[in-house]
Amino acid sequence: MRLTVGKDPSEIQQTRLFANWLLDIGEGNVGGSNDGDAVIHIPEDILITQSSDPIGLLIEFVYPSFLDSLNDPKYFEERSILAPKHEVVQEINDRLLSMFPGEEEYLSSDSICQTEFIHNQSDESL
């Protein structure tokens, strides 16, 4: 639904039709009756047909000028990639994260620093 924010009515209608189509696929309502396998028609305008790297091409299509838009929150709010399986989501996420400049750094802690300042009862219980 966030893809409809700030869009004109024709774009909103097109987005809703696409969303309903995806829901119908997920509920098994497309391609006739099936037992887990079905043949469905996918519109030509959303197929990736000419690529040895379909995920790379998909990322380029959904996130054009990626590096130029890193500091623009709207850029990421207006885009998303849907994937059918967790493994595909993981591959897309890994590829996108590798495109960010700089090194990855993760900080964690498994204990809380002791303090001499206790502000209230809940602080003391920590």
Vertex 67 angle, CA 96 and 100, to 5°: 40
d(CA 112, CA 52): 49
Q: Are 97 and 91 in contact (CB under 8 A)?
A: no
Q: How far is residue 68 from each of residues 4, 14, 61, 73, measured CA to CA in Å?
A: 24, 28, 15, 12
This prediction's pTM: 0.57
pLDDT 10s per residue in the chain (126 long)? 556 666 778 888 888 888 888 888 878 788 777 676 778 888 888 888 888 999 999 999 999 988 899 889 888 888 888 887 899 999 999 999 898 888 877 777 777 666 666 666 666 665
pLDDT at position 120 is 65
